[in-house]
Amino acid sequence: MNDTPFKNEPREKLEIELGEQLNALISASHALNVRSAAKFDSSLQPAAFHIVRWLYSYGPTNAATLAESTAMDRSSVSRLVKQLQSLGYVSRETSPNDGRGIVLSLTEYGQQKIIDALKEKESVFFERISDWKDEELHDFTQMLKHFNGLNRRMRT
């Protein structure tokens, strides 16, 4: 005998509930990103913050890689990078591997500003999990890894 509370619910209903919760998570995350972008520099579009966030997470790169990785067109990335450079957040240097290429990276000022902006975002998430038991946090993390396909990628 199985007394799990969801045993009698149709799979479709469970999938719809999951979709609703994922949508709520994505919406809340987007709202936090917009707030973090404003904290970073309210004169910039949130897309510029997305570029800075990417550079902070993955390091220096060229404009083509940045455009592909952030799902932005190259002209938008170019325009935003020029803004970020004029404000002192991003630097452009000649590629050491290819004297014709340009490498984009965060300046120290850009790094400090992104760290400050992300602290607020992190505090919201940390507040939401502050009363979770370690086992709950571990299980949730493992389920997200599984959902995101990370467990599958590690095995192959």
Per-residue pLDDT of the chain (156 residues; tens, 9 = 90+): 445 566 667 899 999 999 999 999 999 888 988 999 999 999 999 999 999 999 999 999 999 999 999 999 999 999 999 999 999 999 999 878 777 789 999 999 999 999 999 988 888 889 999 999 999 999 999 998 998 887 654 443
CB contact set of 81 (below 8 Å; sequence gap of 6+): 51, 63, 66, 90, 92, 104
Map out the domains of the chain with their CATH numbers.
11-117 (1.10.10.10)
| pTM for this prediction | 0.73
Which pair of tokens denotes residue 20?
């609703």
